[in-house]
Structure 1
Amino acid sequence: MHQTKEVLLLEMMLSFIFALGFTLIHYFSKYMRFIKAIPRSRFLSAAGGVAVAYVFIHLLPDLSKHQQVLEEAARPGLFRFLENHAYIIALLGLALFYGLEKMVKNSKSSQNDKTSPGVFWIHITSFFLYNSLIGYLLVREEFESLWGMFFYFLALAVHFVTNDHSLRKDHQDIYDHYGRWGLTAAILIGWTVGAFVKLEEVYISLLTAFLAGGIVLNVLKEELPEERKSSFAAFFLGVVGYTALLLV
Protein backbone atom coordinates (compact mmCIF):
# COMPACT_ATOMS: atom_id res chain seq x y z
CA MET A 1 0.00 0.00 0.00
CA HIS A 2 1.07 3.59 -0.54
CA GLN A 3 2.30 4.53 2.92
CA THR A 4 1.05 8.11 3.30
CA LYS A 5 0.35 9.39 6.79
CA GLU A 6 -3.40 9.17 6.22
CA VAL A 7 -3.18 5.58 4.95
CA LEU A 8 -1.00 4.54 7.88
CA LEU A 9 -3.50 6.01 10.32
CA LEU A 10 -6.39 4.28 8.56
CA GLU A 11 -4.51 0.97 8.59
CA MET A 12 -3.82 1.32 12.31
CA MET A 13 -7.43 2.11 13.12
CA LEU A 14 -8.76 -0.70 10.94
CA SER A 15 -6.29 -3.21 12.38
CA PHE A 16 -7.41 -2.26 15.91
CA ILE A 17 -11.07 -2.76 14.95
CA PHE A 18 -10.20 -6.19 13.54
CA ALA A 19 -8.21 -7.04 16.68
CA LEU A 20 -11.29 -6.22 18.75
CA GLY A 21 -13.31 -8.38 16.36
CA PHE A 22 -10.99 -11.32 17.06
CA THR A 23 -11.44 -10.88 20.82
CA LEU A 24 -15.23 -10.77 20.49
CA ILE A 25 -15.15 -14.00 18.49
CA HIS A 26 -13.22 -15.75 21.28
CA TYR A 27 -15.73 -14.44 23.82
CA PHE A 28 -18.95 -15.25 21.96
CA SER A 29 -17.94 -18.53 20.30
CA LYS A 30 -18.88 -20.28 23.55
CA TYR A 31 -22.48 -19.30 22.90
CA MET A 32 -22.65 -20.56 19.32
CA ARG A 33 -25.05 -23.37 20.11
CA PHE A 34 -25.42 -24.43 16.49
CA ILE A 35 -21.85 -25.77 16.49
CA LYS A 36 -21.74 -29.54 17.08
CA ALA A 37 -18.78 -31.87 17.40
CA ILE A 38 -20.36 -35.04 15.96
CA PRO A 39 -21.67 -34.93 13.33
CA ARG A 40 -19.40 -31.98 12.70
CA SER A 41 -21.14 -28.65 12.18
CA ARG A 42 -21.20 -27.60 8.53
CA PHE A 43 -20.12 -24.16 9.69
CA LEU A 44 -16.92 -25.61 11.17
CA SER A 45 -16.19 -27.55 7.98
CA ALA A 46 -16.77 -24.43 5.87
CA ALA A 47 -14.56 -22.43 8.26
CA GLY A 48 -11.82 -25.03 7.80
CA GLY A 49 -12.12 -24.66 4.04
CA VAL A 50 -11.77 -20.89 4.28
CA ALA A 51 -8.64 -21.15 6.44
CA VAL A 52 -7.03 -23.73 4.15
CA ALA A 53 -7.81 -21.58 1.09
CA TYR A 54 -6.19 -18.59 2.77
CA VAL A 55 -3.02 -20.57 3.48
CA PHE A 56 -2.67 -22.07 0.00
CA ILE A 57 -3.79 -19.05 -2.03
CA HIS A 58 -2.17 -16.31 0.04
CA LEU A 59 0.24 -17.39 2.77
CA LEU A 60 2.17 -20.12 0.96
CA PRO A 61 2.66 -18.10 -2.26
CA ASP A 62 3.87 -15.26 -0.03
CA LEU A 63 6.61 -17.58 1.20
CA SER A 64 8.44 -17.00 -2.08
CA LYS A 65 8.69 -13.31 -1.14
CA HIS A 66 9.78 -14.22 2.37
CA GLN A 67 12.30 -16.66 0.88
CA GLN A 68 13.92 -13.75 -0.94
CA VAL A 69 14.14 -11.86 2.33
CA LEU A 70 15.83 -14.83 3.98
CA GLU A 71 18.27 -15.18 1.08
CA GLU A 72 19.25 -11.54 1.41
CA ALA A 73 19.71 -11.99 5.15
CA ALA A 74 21.68 -15.22 4.73
CA ARG A 75 25.29 -14.64 5.64
CA PRO A 76 27.73 -16.29 8.02
CA GLY A 77 25.79 -16.27 11.25
CA LEU A 78 22.27 -16.85 12.49
CA PHE A 79 20.36 -17.09 9.17
CA ARG A 80 22.90 -18.93 7.04
CA PHE A 81 21.20 -22.31 7.51
CA LEU A 82 17.88 -20.77 6.35
CA GLU A 83 19.19 -19.62 2.99
CA ASN A 84 16.93 -21.90 0.96
CA HIS A 85 14.55 -23.19 3.60
CA ALA A 86 11.66 -20.81 4.28
CA TYR A 87 9.33 -23.78 3.84
CA ILE A 88 11.15 -25.64 6.60
CA ILE A 89 9.93 -22.99 9.03
CA ALA A 90 6.35 -23.67 7.89
CA LEU A 91 6.99 -27.39 8.33
CA LEU A 92 8.36 -26.70 11.80
CA GLY A 93 5.14 -24.88 12.71
CA LEU A 94 3.09 -27.82 11.50
CA ALA A 95 5.26 -30.35 13.36
CA LEU A 96 5.18 -28.37 16.61
CA PHE A 97 1.41 -28.14 16.70
CA TYR A 98 1.12 -31.81 15.73
CA GLY A 99 3.32 -32.67 18.71
CA LEU A 100 1.13 -30.57 21.00
CA GLU A 101 -1.98 -32.31 19.66
CA LYS A 102 -0.48 -35.73 20.36
CA MET A 103 0.47 -34.60 23.87
CA VAL A 104 -3.13 -33.55 24.56
CA LYS A 105 -4.57 -36.81 23.19
CA ASN A 106 -2.16 -38.91 25.26
CA SER A 107 -3.02 -36.94 28.39
CA LYS A 108 -6.76 -37.41 27.82
CA SER A 109 -6.42 -41.14 27.27
CA SER A 110 -4.60 -41.54 30.60
CA GLN A 111 -6.76 -39.08 32.58
CA ASN A 112 -10.29 -40.34 31.83
CA ASP A 113 -10.84 -37.93 28.94
CA LYS A 114 -9.46 -34.96 30.87
CA THR A 115 -6.12 -33.27 30.34
CA SER A 116 -3.72 -32.73 33.23
CA PRO A 117 -3.19 -29.13 34.45
CA GLY A 118 0.39 -29.17 33.16
CA VAL A 119 -0.67 -30.23 29.67
CA PHE A 120 -3.45 -27.64 29.67
CA TRP A 121 -1.04 -24.79 30.46
CA ILE A 122 1.50 -25.95 27.88
CA HIS A 123 -1.22 -26.17 25.24
CA ILE A 124 -2.75 -22.80 26.14
CA THR A 125 0.67 -21.13 26.23
CA SER A 126 1.37 -22.34 22.70
CA PHE A 127 -1.95 -20.91 21.48
CA PHE A 128 -1.31 -17.72 23.45
CA LEU A 129 1.84 -17.23 21.36
CA TYR A 130 -0.08 -18.29 18.22
CA ASN A 131 -2.79 -15.68 18.83
CA SER A 132 -0.22 -13.04 19.75
CA LEU A 133 1.53 -13.67 16.45
CA ILE A 134 -1.75 -13.25 14.55
CA GLY A 135 -2.41 -9.99 16.39
CA TYR A 136 1.11 -8.77 15.65
CA LEU A 137 0.90 -9.55 11.94
CA LEU A 138 -2.45 -7.75 11.78
CA VAL A 139 -0.39 -4.58 12.27
CA ARG A 140 2.94 -5.47 10.67
CA GLU A 141 2.06 -7.71 7.71
CA GLU A 142 2.45 -5.71 4.49
CA PHE A 143 -1.02 -6.11 2.98
CA GLU A 144 -1.43 -5.07 -0.63
CA SER A 145 -4.58 -3.13 0.23
CA LEU A 146 -7.12 -2.62 2.99
CA TRP A 147 -9.06 -5.46 1.38
CA GLY A 148 -6.06 -7.68 2.02
CA MET A 149 -6.31 -6.90 5.72
CA PHE A 150 -10.04 -7.64 5.63
CA PHE A 151 -9.47 -11.04 4.02
CA TYR A 152 -6.81 -11.79 6.65
CA PHE A 153 -9.37 -10.98 9.34
CA LEU A 154 -12.12 -12.99 7.66
CA ALA A 155 -10.03 -16.14 7.25
CA LEU A 156 -8.60 -16.09 10.76
CA ALA A 157 -11.90 -15.08 12.37
CA VAL A 158 -13.55 -18.32 11.26
CA HIS A 159 -10.31 -20.15 12.10
CA PHE A 160 -10.57 -18.82 15.67
CA VAL A 161 -14.07 -20.26 15.97
CA THR A 162 -12.69 -23.67 15.02
CA ASN A 163 -9.74 -23.39 17.42
CA ASP A 164 -11.96 -22.20 20.25
CA HIS A 165 -14.34 -25.12 19.74
CA SER A 166 -11.45 -27.60 19.65
CA LEU A 167 -9.77 -26.24 22.78
CA ARG A 168 -13.04 -26.26 24.72
CA LYS A 169 -13.59 -29.88 23.70
CA ASP A 170 -10.06 -30.83 24.80
CA HIS A 171 -9.98 -28.99 28.13
CA GLN A 172 -13.64 -28.51 29.04
CA ASP A 173 -14.47 -26.10 31.90
CA ILE A 174 -10.90 -25.05 32.65
CA TYR A 175 -10.67 -23.61 29.14
CA ASP A 176 -13.65 -21.32 29.72
CA HIS A 177 -12.41 -20.29 33.17
CA TYR A 178 -8.83 -19.49 32.17
CA GLY A 179 -7.80 -20.37 28.62
CA ARG A 180 -10.42 -18.38 26.74
CA TRP A 181 -9.48 -15.17 28.54
CA GLY A 182 -5.78 -15.70 28.01
CA LEU A 183 -6.23 -16.24 24.27
CA THR A 184 -8.48 -13.20 24.03
CA ALA A 185 -5.85 -11.05 25.76
CA ALA A 186 -3.11 -12.52 23.53
CA ILE A 187 -4.61 -10.94 20.41
CA LEU A 188 -4.62 -7.46 21.94
CA ILE A 189 -1.14 -7.96 23.38
CA GLY A 190 0.15 -9.00 19.95
CA TRP A 191 -1.55 -6.01 18.34
CA THR A 192 -0.11 -3.63 20.95
CA VAL A 193 3.41 -4.97 20.46
CA GLY A 194 2.95 -4.62 16.71
CA ALA A 195 1.78 -1.03 17.08
CA PHE A 196 4.93 -0.01 18.94
CA VAL A 197 7.62 -2.51 17.92
CA LYS A 198 8.66 -3.13 14.33
CA LEU A 199 10.75 -6.24 13.78
CA GLU A 200 13.14 -6.54 10.89
CA GLU A 201 11.62 -7.94 7.73
CA VAL A 202 13.54 -11.21 8.07
CA TYR A 203 11.81 -11.91 11.40
CA ILE A 204 8.41 -11.09 9.90
CA SER A 205 9.18 -13.64 7.17
CA LEU A 206 10.04 -16.31 9.72
CA LEU A 207 6.93 -15.63 11.80
CA THR A 208 4.65 -15.69 8.75
CA ALA A 209 6.09 -18.99 7.55
CA PHE A 210 5.67 -20.52 11.01
CA LEU A 211 2.07 -19.30 11.18
CA ALA A 212 1.27 -20.90 7.81
CA GLY A 213 2.38 -24.32 9.05
CA GLY A 214 0.45 -23.94 12.29
CA ILE A 215 -2.77 -23.01 10.51
CA VAL A 216 -2.52 -25.99 8.13
CA LEU A 217 -2.16 -28.45 11.02
CA ASN A 218 -4.83 -26.85 13.20
CA VAL A 219 -7.34 -26.96 10.35
CA LEU A 220 -6.63 -30.44 9.02
CA LYS A 221 -6.53 -32.10 12.46
CA GLU A 222 -10.15 -31.04 12.87
CA GLU A 223 -11.33 -32.09 9.42
CA LEU A 224 -9.56 -35.40 8.79
CA PRO A 225 -10.52 -37.75 11.68
CA GLU A 226 -13.27 -40.06 10.46
CA GLU A 227 -15.21 -39.95 13.73
CA ARG A 228 -15.84 -36.22 13.30
CA LYS A 229 -18.17 -36.95 10.35
CA SER A 230 -17.09 -33.73 8.67
CA SER A 231 -19.02 -32.30 5.74
CA PHE A 232 -16.89 -32.40 2.60
CA ALA A 233 -19.48 -30.32 0.75
CA ALA A 234 -19.27 -27.52 3.33
CA PHE A 235 -15.46 -27.73 3.43
CA PHE A 236 -15.26 -27.58 -0.37
CA LEU A 237 -17.72 -24.67 -0.48
CA GLY A 238 -15.53 -22.79 2.00
CA VAL A 239 -12.43 -23.46 -0.12
CA VAL A 240 -14.05 -22.44 -3.41
CA GLY A 241 -15.94 -19.44 -2.05
CA TYR A 242 -12.98 -17.90 -0.26
CA THR A 243 -10.62 -18.64 -3.15
CA ALA A 244 -13.00 -16.84 -5.50
CA LEU A 245 -13.01 -13.81 -3.18
CA LEU A 246 -9.21 -13.73 -3.06
CA LEU A 247 -8.86 -14.04 -6.82
CA VAL A 248 -11.41 -11.31 -7.46
Structure 2
Amino acid sequence: MASFIVVLFFLIIQVFANKVISSSSLGKIKWMSLAGGIAVSYIFVYILPSLHHEQDEFGDTAFELAMESELYFFGLIGIVLFYTVNKLAERHRHKRGASVEDRFFFSQTLLFFVYNMLISYIMFASEQPLEQLVFYGTAVGLHFMAVAHDMFRENNVKYRKYGRYMLASGILTGWLVATLTPPSPIVLSIVFAFISGAIMFNVIKNELPSEDSAHLPTFVLSAFIYSALTLMLKFFFDW
Protein backbone atom coordinates (compact mmCIF):
# COMPACT_ATOMS: atom_id res chain seq x y z
CA MET A 1 0.00 0.00 0.00
CA ALA A 2 2.85 2.40 0.84
CA SER A 3 4.54 1.86 -2.52
CA PHE A 4 1.19 2.21 -4.29
CA ILE A 5 0.69 5.65 -2.70
CA VAL A 6 4.12 6.76 -3.93
CA VAL A 7 3.53 5.42 -7.44
CA LEU A 8 0.15 7.17 -7.49
CA PHE A 9 1.98 10.40 -6.62
CA PHE A 10 4.34 9.79 -9.56
CA LEU A 11 1.43 9.14 -11.93
CA ILE A 12 -0.37 12.34 -10.93
CA ILE A 13 2.81 14.36 -11.44
CA GLN A 14 3.45 12.80 -14.84
CA VAL A 15 -0.06 13.33 -16.15
CA PHE A 16 -0.70 16.78 -14.69
CA ALA A 17 2.83 18.24 -14.53
CA ASN A 18 2.21 21.11 -16.90
CA LYS A 19 -1.08 22.06 -15.26
CA VAL A 20 0.69 22.15 -11.89
CA ILE A 21 3.48 24.34 -13.25
CA SER A 22 1.19 26.71 -15.15
CA SER A 23 -1.40 27.11 -12.39
CA SER A 24 0.97 27.42 -9.42
CA SER A 25 1.77 30.81 -7.92
CA LEU A 26 5.40 29.72 -7.75
CA GLY A 27 5.77 30.24 -11.50
CA LYS A 28 7.46 28.16 -14.19
CA ILE A 29 10.95 29.63 -13.68
CA LYS A 30 10.96 28.96 -9.95
CA TRP A 31 9.49 25.48 -10.44
CA MET A 32 12.23 24.52 -12.89
CA SER A 33 14.92 26.10 -10.72
CA LEU A 34 13.60 24.16 -7.71
CA ALA A 35 13.56 20.89 -9.66
CA GLY A 36 17.03 21.60 -11.06
CA GLY A 37 18.58 22.33 -7.68
CA ILE A 38 17.16 19.20 -6.08
CA ALA A 39 18.08 17.07 -9.11
CA VAL A 40 21.72 18.22 -9.05
CA SER A 41 21.88 17.52 -5.33
CA TYR A 42 20.30 14.10 -5.87
CA ILE A 43 23.01 13.19 -8.36
CA PHE A 44 25.96 14.21 -6.19
CA VAL A 45 24.80 13.13 -2.72
CA TYR A 46 22.80 10.03 -3.67
CA ILE A 47 23.33 8.63 -7.16
CA LEU A 48 27.14 8.87 -7.38
CA PRO A 49 27.80 7.45 -3.86
CA SER A 50 25.21 4.72 -4.48
CA LEU A 51 26.78 3.85 -7.82
CA HIS A 52 30.18 3.53 -6.12
CA HIS A 53 28.63 1.28 -3.46
CA GLU A 54 26.88 -0.84 -6.10
CA GLN A 55 30.18 -1.27 -7.98
CA ASP A 56 31.85 -2.53 -4.80
CA GLU A 57 29.00 -4.97 -4.17
CA PHE A 58 28.98 -6.06 -7.81
CA GLY A 59 32.69 -6.86 -7.69
CA ASP A 60 32.23 -8.92 -4.53
CA THR A 61 29.19 -10.95 -5.55
CA ALA A 62 28.95 -11.14 -9.34
CA PHE A 63 32.10 -12.62 -10.84
CA GLU A 64 35.48 -13.67 -9.57
CA LEU A 65 37.13 -11.79 -12.44
CA ALA A 66 35.09 -8.63 -11.94
CA MET A 67 36.93 -5.40 -12.62
CA GLU A 68 36.38 -2.06 -10.88
CA SER A 69 34.39 -0.24 -13.54
CA GLU A 70 31.74 -2.51 -15.08
CA LEU A 71 28.80 -0.56 -13.70
CA TYR A 72 30.33 2.77 -14.67
CA PHE A 73 30.40 1.47 -18.24
CA PHE A 74 26.64 0.81 -18.09
CA GLY A 75 26.24 4.35 -16.80
CA LEU A 76 28.19 5.57 -19.82
CA ILE A 77 25.83 3.65 -22.10
CA GLY A 78 22.90 5.47 -20.51
CA ILE A 79 24.47 8.88 -21.14
CA VAL A 80 25.48 8.06 -24.73
CA LEU A 81 22.07 6.64 -25.62
CA PHE A 82 20.13 9.67 -24.45
CA TYR A 83 22.67 12.08 -25.91
CA THR A 84 22.26 10.35 -29.27
CA VAL A 85 18.47 10.61 -29.10
CA ASN A 86 18.75 14.28 -28.19
CA LYS A 87 20.98 14.98 -31.19
CA LEU A 88 18.62 13.12 -33.50
CA ALA A 89 15.78 15.26 -32.11
CA GLU A 90 17.67 18.44 -32.96
CA ARG A 91 18.32 17.16 -36.48
CA HIS A 92 14.66 16.26 -37.05
CA ARG A 93 13.52 19.72 -35.97
CA HIS A 94 14.98 21.06 -39.22
CA LYS A 95 13.08 18.55 -41.35
CA ARG A 96 9.58 19.10 -42.62
CA GLY A 97 6.75 16.65 -42.86
CA ALA A 98 4.19 15.43 -40.36
CA SER A 99 5.20 11.79 -40.82
CA VAL A 100 8.82 12.48 -39.83
CA GLU A 101 7.71 14.48 -36.80
CA ASP A 102 5.21 11.84 -35.70
CA ARG A 103 7.66 8.99 -36.15
CA PHE A 104 10.31 10.67 -34.08
CA PHE A 105 7.87 11.81 -31.38
CA PHE A 106 6.66 8.27 -30.76
CA SER A 107 10.22 6.89 -30.86
CA GLN A 108 11.31 9.44 -28.29
CA THR A 109 8.22 8.77 -26.16
CA LEU A 110 8.91 5.03 -26.27
CA LEU A 111 12.45 5.66 -25.04
CA PHE A 112 11.13 7.73 -22.14
CA PHE A 113 8.56 5.03 -21.43
CA VAL A 114 11.48 2.67 -20.83
CA TYR A 115 13.32 5.41 -18.90
CA ASN A 116 10.39 5.94 -16.53
CA MET A 117 9.85 2.20 -16.21
CA LEU A 118 13.46 1.59 -15.16
CA ILE A 119 13.47 4.47 -12.67
CA SER A 120 10.23 3.20 -11.17
CA TYR A 121 11.57 -0.36 -11.08
CA ILE A 122 14.72 0.70 -9.23
CA MET A 123 12.75 2.82 -6.76
CA PHE A 124 10.40 0.01 -5.78
CA ALA A 125 12.55 -3.12 -6.26
CA SER A 126 15.31 -1.90 -3.96
CA GLU A 127 13.01 -2.39 -0.94
CA GLN A 128 13.64 0.97 0.68
CA PRO A 129 11.80 1.85 3.91
CA LEU A 130 8.79 4.09 3.40
CA GLU A 131 10.48 7.22 4.76
CA GLN A 132 13.41 6.82 2.36
CA LEU A 133 11.07 6.07 -0.52
CA VAL A 134 9.12 9.27 0.15
CA PHE A 135 12.20 11.44 0.64
CA TYR A 136 14.07 10.30 -2.48
CA GLY A 137 10.77 9.99 -4.33
CA THR A 138 10.34 13.75 -4.00
CA ALA A 139 13.48 14.31 -6.07
CA VAL A 140 12.40 11.68 -8.59
CA GLY A 141 8.91 13.18 -8.85
CA LEU A 142 10.30 16.65 -9.58
CA HIS A 143 12.56 15.07 -12.19
CA PHE A 144 9.53 13.45 -13.87
CA MET A 145 7.91 16.89 -13.86
CA ALA A 146 10.92 18.51 -15.56
CA VAL A 147 11.11 15.79 -18.24
CA ALA A 148 7.36 16.12 -18.85
CA HIS A 149 7.66 19.89 -19.24
CA ASP A 150 10.54 19.50 -21.71
CA MET A 151 8.56 17.06 -23.88
CA PHE A 152 5.50 19.32 -23.63
CA ARG A 153 7.51 22.25 -25.00
CA GLU A 154 8.72 20.19 -27.95
CA ASN A 155 5.28 18.96 -29.04
CA ASN A 156 2.51 20.11 -26.71
CA VAL A 157 -0.41 18.73 -28.73
CA LYS A 158 0.86 15.18 -29.05
CA TYR A 159 2.27 15.19 -25.52
CA ARG A 160 -1.09 16.16 -24.03
CA LYS A 161 -2.94 13.61 -26.18
CA TYR A 162 -0.56 10.65 -26.05
CA GLY A 163 2.82 11.32 -24.48
CA ARG A 164 1.91 11.94 -20.85
CA TYR A 165 -0.15 8.74 -20.69
CA MET A 166 2.62 6.67 -22.27
CA LEU A 167 5.16 8.03 -19.79
CA ALA A 168 2.77 7.44 -16.89
CA SER A 169 2.24 3.87 -18.06
CA GLY A 170 6.02 3.42 -17.93
CA ILE A 171 5.98 4.36 -14.23
CA LEU A 172 3.12 1.96 -13.56
CA THR A 173 4.82 -0.85 -15.50
CA GLY A 174 8.05 -0.44 -13.52
CA TRP A 175 6.12 -0.60 -10.24
CA LEU A 176 4.26 -3.74 -11.34
CA VAL A 177 7.48 -5.48 -12.43
CA ALA A 178 9.15 -4.59 -9.11
CA THR A 179 6.12 -5.79 -7.16
CA LEU A 180 5.48 -9.03 -9.00
CA THR A 181 9.01 -10.31 -9.70
CA PRO A 182 11.75 -11.34 -7.26
CA PRO A 183 14.65 -8.85 -7.29
CA SER A 184 18.04 -9.95 -8.65
CA PRO A 185 21.01 -8.09 -7.11
CA ILE A 186 22.99 -8.25 -10.36
CA VAL A 187 20.09 -7.02 -12.49
CA LEU A 188 19.35 -4.25 -10.00
CA SER A 189 22.98 -3.11 -10.08
CA ILE A 190 23.14 -3.03 -13.89
CA VAL A 191 19.78 -1.26 -14.25
CA PHE A 192 20.74 1.25 -11.54
CA ALA A 193 24.03 2.04 -13.30
CA PHE A 194 22.38 2.47 -16.71
CA ILE A 195 19.57 4.65 -15.43
CA SER A 196 22.01 6.69 -13.33
CA GLY A 197 23.85 7.71 -16.47
CA ALA A 198 20.57 8.51 -18.21
CA ILE A 199 19.39 10.60 -15.25
CA MET A 200 22.66 12.55 -15.20
CA PHE A 201 22.29 13.48 -18.85
CA ASN A 202 18.61 14.41 -18.59
CA VAL A 203 19.18 16.50 -15.47
CA ILE A 204 21.96 18.46 -17.17
CA LYS A 205 19.87 18.88 -20.33
CA ASN A 206 16.45 19.59 -18.83
CA GLU A 207 16.94 20.83 -15.30
CA LEU A 208 19.98 23.09 -15.24
CA PRO A 209 18.18 26.32 -16.11
CA SER A 210 19.73 28.74 -18.58
CA GLU A 211 20.53 32.29 -17.53
CA ASP A 212 17.31 33.74 -18.94
CA SER A 213 15.05 31.09 -17.37
CA ALA A 214 16.56 30.61 -13.92
CA HIS A 215 15.75 31.92 -10.48
CA LEU A 216 19.21 31.68 -8.93
CA PRO A 217 18.22 31.88 -5.22
CA THR A 218 15.67 29.07 -5.67
CA PHE A 219 18.20 26.89 -7.50
CA VAL A 220 21.00 27.43 -4.97
CA LEU A 221 18.83 27.08 -1.87
CA SER A 222 17.08 23.94 -3.10
CA ALA A 223 20.41 22.31 -4.01
CA PHE A 224 22.04 22.99 -0.65
CA ILE A 225 18.98 22.37 1.53
CA TYR A 226 18.28 19.01 -0.11
CA SER A 227 21.97 18.10 0.12
CA ALA A 228 22.11 19.05 3.81
CA LEU A 229 18.99 17.01 4.58
CA THR A 230 20.32 14.00 2.68
CA LEU A 231 23.70 14.11 4.44
CA MET A 232 22.06 14.50 7.85
CA LEU A 233 19.76 11.54 7.21
CA LYS A 234 22.70 9.44 6.04
CA PHE A 235 24.75 10.42 9.09
CA PHE A 236 22.08 9.94 11.77
CA PHE A 237 19.99 7.12 10.26
CA ASP A 238 22.49 5.40 7.96
CA TRP A 239 20.48 6.05 4.80
Whether these two folds match at TM > 0.5 is yes
The yes-or-no answer on 1:244 pairing with 2:232 is no
In the other structure, the counterpart of 2:40 is: 52
Q: If the length of structure 1 is used for normalisation, what is the TM-score?
A: 0.83
Q: If the length of structure 2 is used for normalisation, what is the TM-score?
A: 0.86
Distance (Å, rounded) in 2 between the aligned partners of 1:183 and 1:228: 28
2:54 is aligned, of 52, 66, 69, to 66
Greater than 6 Å deviation, 4+ residue runs: 112-115
Deviation digits for residues 37-89 of structure 1, max 9, x if unmatched? xx96121011011112112111110112211232131257xxx5x65332222
Query: Displacement of 1:154 after TM fit?
Result: 0.3
**After the TM superposition, which of the residue ranges 99-108 and 16-25 deviates more from structure 2?**
99-108
1:173 is aligned, of 143, 146, 157, to 157
Structure 2 contact 36–208 (Cα < 8 Å) conserved: no
Letter in 1 for 2:187: Y
Structure 2 contact 112–167 (Cα < 8 Å) conserved: yes
The yes-or-no answer on 1:92 pairing with 2:77 is yes
Alignment of structure 1 residues 200-219 onto 2, 5 Å: 200-219=184-203
User: Which blocks of at least 5 consecutive residues in structure 2 are unaligned?
Assistant: 233-239
2:216 is aligned, of 212, 216, 232, to 232
Question: For residues 115 and 95 of structure 1, do their structure 2 counterparts lie closer, same or farther at Cα, with a shift above 3 Å needed?
Answer: same
Alignment of structure 1 residues 6-85 onto 2, 5 Å: 13-32=1-20, 33=22, 41-71=29-59, 72-75=61-64, 83-85=68-70
Structure 1 contact 40–231 (Cα < 8 Å) conserved: no
In the other structure, the counterpart of 2:237 is: none
In the other structure, the counterpart of 1:139 is: 124
RMSD: 2.4
Structure 1 contact 44–162 (Cα < 8 Å) conserved: yes
Distance (Å, rounded) in 2 between the aligned partners of 1:142 and 1:60: 19
Structure 1 contact 115–170 (Cα < 8 Å) conserved: no
Letter in 1 for 2:123: L
In the other structure, the counterpart of 1:122 is: 107
Question: For residues 213 and 162 of structure 1, do their structure 2 counterparts lie closer, same or farther at Cα, with a shift above 3 Å needed?
Answer: same
In the other structure, the counterpart of 2:177 is: 193
Structure 1 contact 40–230 (Cα < 8 Å) conserved: no
Identity of aligned residues (%): 32
User: Which blocks of at least 5 consecutive residues in structure 1 are unaligned?
Assistant: 1-12
Query: Displacement of 1:243 after TM fit?
Result: 0.7
Structure 2 contact 30–214 (Cα < 8 Å) conserved: yes
